[in-house]
């Protein structure tokens, strides 16, 4: 028996996604994001975001983030992210490479979230026209964050306020957009442009698709160059309809929200199990589909041996966690494919 809490990208695909792909595999359609299906799905995005948006499909979350930054590029440009953001730590230098040398500047903040004050101070380290430091070019927040927490709508608005004051665009790394949305019980419009967001990496891969990510630009007038940016980075699919087909199924009958709700509730259920356990405790309360627990190493070892997949995690800089010598921090990720049995099995193992 094997139980996957290693990552939501270890999960496969939801059957509805596969069926949509099969359905659209027959017949021919014009290539390179020009098919009717592409158009139709782009419109669906507009409905979902309650405004005219520009939509660009890509195949990886790293591409969505990096090409978003390329759109916002400025010479000597600096991107402000949380100091442990995915863009900064886990994308192998792609944002830097695909912006031709842009840099990230890490902003610290508790529980994976930058605060507006820390952001403002960080931006002020780069005085206007002081070429030696480079110039601010964008701010990016991760929603849900790398450590399973979520920015509230007010927190997003406060960040956006700082951006506006400095004339900087605000991007959201939404690799787990749906998980955050469901967690906040809000709408895409409320969580983005109504709070001052300019563009979003809208991830669907981790939430049940095979390979479906989209860059959603709130003001289409500012998006024009992105078509060239995407092509130039070799991220324009010829049979783009197969990305579109995934999104079509993803949005149909609220599949995306249901998948995210399932993943979040499984994390909550696991949190509850851990709270009751004596061999493990929560590092902080999960708000989406990632849970972080402090576990005695032998217990964790035993879990692994029983076929549970999960990762040790480095303690975030800003976390005030008191780990004992025999303890370590671990991450558990749930997904649309996580079952009640998976959670309860682990709960049982932890109880023993």
Considering only residues 173 to 212 of the shown chain, the ones binding its own copies according to CB under 8 A are 205-206, 210-211
Q: Are 297 and 328 in contact (CB under 8 A)?
A: yes
Smallest distance from its own copies to CB 80, Å: 14
User: Which of 97-105, 144-152, 193-201, 292-300 is the region at the interface with its own copies (rule: CB under 8 A)?
Assistant: 97-105
229 binds its own copies (CB under 8 A): yes
What string marks each residue from 14 to 53 as x (binds its own copies by CB under 8 A) or -?
A: xx-xx--xx-xxxxxxxxx---------------------
How crowded is residue 304: how many other Cβ atoms within 10 Å of its Cβ?
A: 12
Is residue 220 close enough to count as binding its own copies by CB under 8 A? Answer: no
Q: Does 127 bind its own copies (CB under 8 A)?
A: no
When asked if residue 94 is in the footprint of its own copies (CB under 8 A), the reply is: yes
How is residue 40 written in tokens?
Answer: 């139709």
Would you state the structure tokens that stand for residue 104, as one six-digit string? 């990230």
Q: Which one, 206 or 273, has the nearer CB to its own copies? A: 206
Cβ 4 to its own copies shortest distance, Å:
4
Q: Token match 């442009």: residue?
A: 193
Please report whether residue 235 would count as binding its own copies according to CB under 8 A: yes
Pick the piece of the chain touching its own copies (CB under 8 A) from 8-16, 45-53, 288-296, 344-352.
8-16
Residue 93 or 352: which CB sits closer to its own copies? 93
**Using CA atoms, how far apart are residues 9 and 42, in angstroms rounded to an integer?**
24
Q: Which of residues 153-172 bind its own copies (CB under 8 A)?
A: none
Considering beta carbons, is residue 19 or 278 the nearer one to its own copies? 19
In contact, 199 and 169? CB cutoff 8 Å: yes
* 111 lines the binding site for its own copies (CB under 8 A): no
When the beta carbons of 101 and 298 are compared against its own copies, the nearer one is: 101
Which strands sit side by side in the sheet containing 327-333, from one edge to the other? 280-282, 290-296, 327-333, 311-312
Among residue numbers 298 through 327, which ones bind its own copies (CB under 8 A)? Answer: 309
Residue 265 burial class via C-beta count within 10 angstroms: exposed 0-12, middle 13-18, buried 19 and up:
middle
Q: Which is nearer to its own copies, 213 or 328 (CB)?
A: 213
């Amino acid at each position: 028996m094997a139980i996957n809490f290693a990552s939501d990208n270890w999960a496969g695909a939801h059957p509805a996604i596969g069926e949509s792909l099969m359905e659209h595999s027959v017949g021919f359609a014009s290539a390179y994001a020009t098919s009717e299906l592409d158009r139709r799905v782009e419109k669906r995005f507009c409905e979902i975001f309650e405004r005219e948006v520009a939509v660009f499909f890509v195949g990886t979350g790293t591409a969505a983030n990096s090409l978003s930054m390329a759109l916002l590029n400025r010479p000597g440009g600096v991107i402000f992210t949380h100091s442990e953001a995915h863009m900064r730590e886990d994308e192998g230098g792609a944002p830097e490479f695909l912006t031709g040398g842009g840099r990230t500047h890490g902003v610290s903040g508790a529980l994976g979230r930058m605060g507006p004050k820390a952001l403002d101070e960080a931006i002020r380290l780069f005085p206007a026209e002081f070429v030696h430091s480079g110039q601010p070019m964008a701010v990016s927040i991760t929603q849900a964050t790398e450590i399973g927490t979520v920015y509230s709508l007010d927190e997003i608005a406060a960040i956006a306020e700082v951006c506006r004051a400095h004339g900087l665009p605000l991007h959201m790394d939404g690799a787990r957009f749906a998980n955050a949305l469901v967690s906040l019980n809000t709408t895409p419009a409320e969580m983005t442009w109504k709070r001052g967001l300019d563009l979003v990496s809208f991830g669907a891969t981790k939430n049940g698709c095979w390979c479906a990510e989209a860059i959603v630009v709130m003001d289409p007038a500012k998006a024009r160059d992105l078509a060239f940016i995407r092509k130039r980075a070799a991220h324009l699919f010829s049979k783009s309809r197969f990305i579109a087909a995934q999104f079509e199924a993803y949005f149909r009958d609220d599949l995306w929200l249901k998948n995210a709700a399932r993943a979040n509730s499984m994390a909550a259920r696991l949190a509850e199990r851990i709270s009751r356990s004596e061999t493990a405790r929560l590092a902080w309360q999960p708000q989406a589909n990632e849970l972080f627990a402090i576990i005695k190493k032998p217990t964790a070892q035993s879990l692994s041996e029983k076929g549970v997949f999960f990762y040790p995690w480095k303690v975030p800089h800003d976390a005030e966690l008191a780990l004992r010598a025999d303890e370590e921090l671990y991450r558990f990720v749930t997904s649309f494919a996580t079952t009640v049995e998976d959670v309860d099995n682990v709960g049982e193992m932890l109880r023993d």
